Structure 1
Amino acid sequence: MTAGLRVALIEDDEDLRVSTTQLLSLAGFTVDAYPAATPALAAIQADFPGVVVTDVRLPHLSGTEVFEQLRARDPSLPVILITGHGDVEMAVSALKAGAWDFLTKPFDPDVLLAAVTRAATARMLELDNRRLRAAAQATGAPEDDASNGLIGYSPAIERLRSMIPVLADADIDLLIEGETGTGKALLARRIHAAGKRRRHRLLGVACGAYPDALLDSDLFARVGSGSVVAASRGTVLLDDLDQASRALQARLTALVEARALVTPGVRDAVPIDLRVIATAAEPGARAEDAIAPALLYRIAAVRLRMPPLRERREDVVPLFAHFVAEAAQRIEGPVPAMTAAAQHHLATHDWPGNVRELAHFAERFVLGLDATADTTESQPASLPERLDAFERAAIIAAMGAAGGEVGVAIEHLGIPRKTFYYRVKRLGIALGPLKRSG
């Protein structure tokens, strides 16, 4: 998610430039102010994540010429012209050519804010649609490395991605903890695929559904494709280990300790070269003895945590784009355009089912079903409500990513401290719990 859309303000009158910058900043926008067209044009490229507000009368290059150059770079970039009464005819011509809006001096601050807000909302939808189209084109391309499947830009995901090559060949057992649907098994598979063991089998074991009656004849048999023997020199993935029966855990403890297949009643053990990666619910969400201590201590040489989606909200849109592209390719259909309702749902929903729930949402979206049917709102939210929800989610996500540190969150959001506290107060955000959660 984008934490604060930008406004490029081009105004040669210093007093008006300063006052307009303050107005837009207090409304939550990040403002890049320029006294002339040349430095602004050097900075504003295609896919600029925001809106351009420019005076028509500028030194050396007029606002309409600025608009024409920007339209050539990105036809959908919203440009709002500020005109004097003598420039209205020129502004109307620019409006017919594709300019977003124009205001005459002296303009009402609320009118400017309304115009910028409308333009910003349209820009958000356009950029999200570009991401969807780009993801659709990229889906199916071979991955450059095994970490590419871990999608997101949040600090937590970037840290996990950076750890994959380190852990891939470390040849130590791992425990990956997290809520259901966060992608724990995906991370395990990426670690396996990035290391030397990738040439050998990854044997997945659904611990919570494995019947004790099949332990000797299947999982711990001396031969067979479903046996741990088949994963020798590879990896065994123990999915949902905290749901494994006591009998299964006892056998796994013996396996991990001896690195050999020990069969009751059989004297000779079968040595096995394998790595164990286990997944489980977070400690606070499982019983204290859900994993037998003897087993836990042996497999938890390194413990990783997959954060829930609500703690990395900046990853929601890129993940959604990825799943939409996958779904469109699967059904051999087009990638739908992003809608305001879908965008609102992405920005405000808590995603208790995490990445798995988001993937299902993307599938419904591609199929043209009521993708937001699981929301509790009976009426579509108004534009101010959608913007407030977006800003609230961005601030909360930034606080989570910053570990509860206000200064770090402000730096991450890219807004002045005064603006941050103004938005927190207006949106009714309680900072206390967010600080404690860090």
Structure 2
Amino acid sequence: MTSTPPRVALIEDDEDLRVSTTQLLALAGFAVDAYPAAAPALAAITPDFAGVVVTDVRLPLLSGTELFHLLRTRDPTLPVILITGHGDVAMAVDSLKAGAWDFLTKPFDPDVLVAAVTRAATARALELENRKLRAAALAEADDGLIGQSPAIERLRAMIPTLADADIDLLIEGETGTGKALLARRIHAAGKRRRHRLLGVACAAYPDALLDGDLFARVGSGSVVAASRGTLLLDDLDQASRALQARLTALVEARALVTPGARDTIPIDLRVIATAAEEGARGEDAIAPALLYRIAAVRLRIPPLRERREDIVPLFAHFVGESAARLGQPLPAMSGAAQHHLATHDWPGNVRELAHFAERFVLGLDAAVAAPDDRPQSLPARLDAFERAAIIAAMGAANGEVGAAIEQLGIPRKTFYYRVKRLGIALGPLKRAG
């Protein structure tokens, strides 16, 4: 299987020189697109042009240096090699300072031109490959499923298919594996994304609010408000029997049935539920009548200990995310952190790994202690993390409390409560800003 030859866009108004240079570059293994003027070349060279531009400086209407500056506004990394006469050297040097790849003076040595184009083409190939990797990383992060393990790749590949399939789903896995995140990604990738995703924290939902909130005939918290969207039942295995009974009636009828009301309200809902794995949640934790109705498709997110190849990519993602959010520089990897990543079982899974990355960014030594070190208690470590996060947010916000609260993403009352509990003196932090 042969690889695609690197491309060269050659702009030269002298026909004889254009033909001979095209032949020279073609013999050197390049695919050449030759143009007699800058305008048609400008129209053909896209920001993702997989090659090098070689242009004469003196061209009719639009000069080679003007072409270079126009191309630079599209893609500052596109290599442009200028061919100049002796009188244009100063102009070429200015372009070189502005980012041109190289310039050659006429008459140029053919071997020098081929060598310059070869170096530029290699650099261009590396740049485009890095773009692909960055785009893939961003897409992976957008999917919320970072990693290269076979299990994660299978789940990632299933998202487009499941997104537009109007069937209910049950996502199973240990705590912290990202079950709700996967559910939200499936919703966001499908046709129902134009409508609401209503999340219900089943474990904490009080029975007293069933009729007045979740199953009310009106209201932003009612299932009626999510019609044509998705109902996310988080931790369904921890829902009360009363809640499960009402959900069973809803799922079966696809309508809101209100006690005492004569009519029902039809609701177009897709249901996605999350739960602990079957063996861990206990028999009949989900009422069979409800389970059979929502588990048309069952997905399992494996714990981190079963996909250890995903730990380092996830950690790198969380470190970058935390450093940006907390206004901290990216720290160098320590031996203790490497040991922890390699040997810890991660019972809290992705959530625990994200918290570890935050502590690592904040330089809390206890969080990356070597095995022989005596660790702090969990409450002490949590307090240390919260204290460092608040102080870092105040610093990043230049002492502005409102901006720090917004960066931390917590309510104002919660912020002041934690400041008081942790004994943080806000005065010096405000003055420092």
TM-score tier, shorter chain, comes to 0.5 to 0.7
Deviations along 1:46-95, one digit per CA (max 9) or x if unpaired, are xxxxxxxxxxxxxxxxxxxxxxxxxxxxxxxxxxxxxxxxxxxxxxxxxx
From 254, 263, 266, give the equivalent of 1:259. Answer: 254
Change (3 A) 1:375 1:235: farther
Tell me what 1:150 maps to: 145
SS of the counterpart of 2:271?
strand
Q: Matches of 2:246 and 2:239 in 1, distance apart? A: 11
How far off is 1:213 after superposition? 0.2
Moved >4 Å (runs of 4+): 141-147, 373-376
Q: Identify the residue that residue 194 of structure 1 maps to in structure 2.
A: 189
**3-state DSSP class of the match of 1:317?**
helix
SS of the residue corresponding to residue 278 of structure 1 reads strand
RMSD: 2.5
Equivalent position to 1:287, from 261, 271, 282: 282
Matching residue of 1:306: 301
Tell me what 1:30 maps to.
none
Q: Distance in 2 between matches of 1:259 and 1:226?
A: 17
- After superposition, the Cα gap between the structure-2 partners of 1:312 and 1:146, relative to the gap in structure 1 and judged at 3 Å, is closer
Q: Give 1:118-137 correspondences, 5 Å limit.
A: none
8 Å contact 2:336–2:370 — kept in the other structure? no
Change (3 A) 1:142 1:156: closer
TM-score, length-scaled by structure 1: 0.53
SS of equivalent residue, structure 1 residue 216 = helix
**Does the residue aligned with 1:175 lie in a helix, a strand or coil?**
strand
TM-score with structure 2 length normalisation? 0.54
The amino acid of 1:368's aligned partner reads G
Partner of 1:218: 213
**Displacement, 1:145?**
7.9
Does the 8 Å contact 1:345/1:372 carry over to 2? Answer: no
Partner of 2:268: 273
Would you say the 8 A contact 1:152–1:319 is kept in 2?
Answer: yes
Aligned-pair identity in percent equals 84
Query: Which has the bigger relative contact order, CA under 8 A and spacing at least 6?
Result: 1
Displacement of 1:148 in angstroms is: 2.9
Report SS of the residue matched to 1:152. Answer: coil
State how far apart, in whole Å, the 1-side matches of 2:171 and 2:261 are.
Answer: 33
Aligned residue for 1:332? 327
Structure 1 residues 181 and 228: CA distance shift in structure 2, 3 A: same
Tell me: CA distance 1:359–1:166, structure 2 relative to 1, closer, same or farther (3 Å).
same
Q: CA deviation at 1:376?
A: 5.3
SS in 2 for 1:303: strand
- Offset of residue 377 of structure 1: 3.5
- Alpha carbons 1:147, 1:194 under 8 Å: kept: no
Residues 1:311 and 1:145: Cα distance change in structure 2 (over 3 Å): closer
Q: 1:332 Cα deviation (Å)?
A: 1.5
**Amino acid corresponding to residue 211 of structure 2 in structure 1:** D
Q: 2:166 corresponds to which residue?
A: 171
SS at 2:200 equivalent: strand
Deviation at 1:333, TM superposition (A): 1.6
Residues 143/379 of structure 1: CA separation in 2 closer, same or farther (3 Å cut): closer
1:231 corresponds in structure 2 to 226
Q: Give the whole-Å Cα distance in 2 for the aligned partners of 1:270 and 1:347.
A: 53
Matched AA of 2:262: R
Contiguous gaps of at least 5 residues in structure 2: 1-129, 376-433
Aligned pairs for 1:64-75 within 5 A: none
CA deviation after TM superposition for structure 1 residue 370, in Å = 1.8
Q: Secondary structure at the match of 1:372?
A: helix
Q: Deviations over 1:385-435 (max 9, x none)?
A: xxxxxxxxxxxxxxxxxxxxxxxxxxxxxxxxxxxxxxxxxxxxxxxxxxx
User: Secondary structure of 2:233's partner?
Assistant: strand
Structure 2 CA distance for partners of 1:371 and 1:271, relative to 1, 3 Å: farther
The residue aligned with 1:357 is 352
Aligned partners of 1:310 and 1:197: how far apart in 2? 34
Alpha-carbon shift at residue 286 of structure 1 (Å)? 1.0
Cross-structure match for 2:236: 241
SS of residue in 1 equivalent to 2:365: coil
How far apart are residue 331 of structure 1 and its match?
A: 1.0
Q: 8 Å contact 1:146–1:190 — kept in the other structure?
A: no
Q: CA separation in 1, counterparts of 2:165 and 2:355?
A: 35
For residues 154 and 256 of structure 2, the distance between their equivalents in structure 1, rounded to whole angstroms, comes to 35
> Cα offset for 1:154?
0.1
Q: 1:379 to 1:273 in 2, by over 3 A?
A: closer
Aligned to 1:161: 156
The 5 A counterparts of 1:417-432 are none
The whole-number CA distance in structure 2 between the counterparts of 1:371 and 1:182 is 24
Q: 1:147: how far off?
A: 5.7
User: Who is 1:377 aligned against?
Assistant: 372
Q: How many residues align?
A: 245
Quote how far apart the aligned CAs of 1:143 are: 5.1
Residue-by-residue CA offset, 1:215-237 (whole Å, 9 max, x unaligned): 00000011111111111000010
Contact 2:244 / 2:290 at 8 angstroms: preserved in 1? yes
CA drift of 1:251 comes to 0.2
Q: Per the alignment, in what secondary structure is the counterpart of residue 358 of structure 2?
A: helix
Distance 1:253 1:145 in 2: 35
Question: Partners of 1:180 and 1:374 in 2: how far apart?
Answer: 24
Deviation at 1:287, TM superposition (A): 1.4
| CA displacement, residues 180-233 of structure 1 (integer Å, 9 cap, x when unaligned) | 000000110110011000111111000000000000000001111111111100
Question: Using the alignment, how far apart are the partners of 1:211 and 1:312 within structure 2?
Answer: 36
CA gap 1:375/1:307 in 2 versus in 1, 3 angstroms:
farther
